[in-house]
Structure 1
Amino acid sequence: MYRIQQDSESFFMEENGERKAEIIFQEDQDGDLFIEHTFVHEDLGGRGVGKELVKKVVEKAQSENKRISSSCSYAQKQLEKSDEYRQLLKN
């Protein structure tokens, strides 16, 4: 199984140096987190990888006392589905 890794602006999974899944975020002008993009390679489809990547951003926001906004439709849907996650959404 793949292991989720982190760099300064993403959580990701790699295989042989190739990113198989990633969620890209950055800090917005208020210092909160802004999710730009989520990608999951078709080899990993249907395994909940995208949800796990969103969860990592949520955990980061919670630990840093930040809110989250998103231009990624997948991430936005996941954030809106959960009461816990919805509380972190930035208006």
Structure 2
Amino acid sequence: MVKIEQEENGKKGRFVIYENEQFAGEMTYTWTDDTKIKIDHTGIGDAFGGKGYGKQLVMKAVEFAREKGIKIVPVCPFVKATFERDENIRDVRG
């Protein structure tokens, strides 16, 4: 079973993905102001590569942005590439 949790600590936060309760990866972000988050890193453990977990983390961040009415500034190369490939999520790109 795969689950994604969100953690925030002040201006910083992350989305964490677990497979069968085991840490599989994370995507970290920083609030730039009240209207934007800057995603600066996505990392998936070697044992979990190739399962689409990075994309799932991006989609969770997109869902979060839409719920909050905020924008995402993609600094992480993986997130940038995902935004370039998927025009359906560009509405939240900042």
Structure 2 counterpart SS, 1:4: strand
Provide the identity percentage. 28
State whether structure 2 residue 4 is matched by structure 1 residue 4: yes
- Deviation track 1:7-53 (CA, whole Å, cap 9, x = no partner) reads 111110347x9742000012113531110100000111010000000
**1:66 Cα deviation (Å)?**
0.8
| More divergent stretch after superposition (45-54 vs 4-13) | 4-13
TM-score, length of structure 1 as denominator length: 0.86
Find the counterpart in structure 2 of residue 57 from structure 1. Answer: 61
Would you identify which runs of 4 or more consecutive aligned residues in structure 1 move more than 6 Å?
none
Q: Aligned residues, how many?
A: 90
In the alignment, which residue of structure 1 is the partner of 2:33?
29
Residue 13 of structure 1 aligns with an amino acid whose one-letter code is I
Which sections of structure 2, spanning at least 5 residues, go unmatched? none
Which residue of 68, 74, 77 maps to 2:78?
Answer: 74
- The gaps in structure 1 that reach 5 residues or longer are none
SS in 1 for 2:69: coil
Amino acid at match of 2:4: I
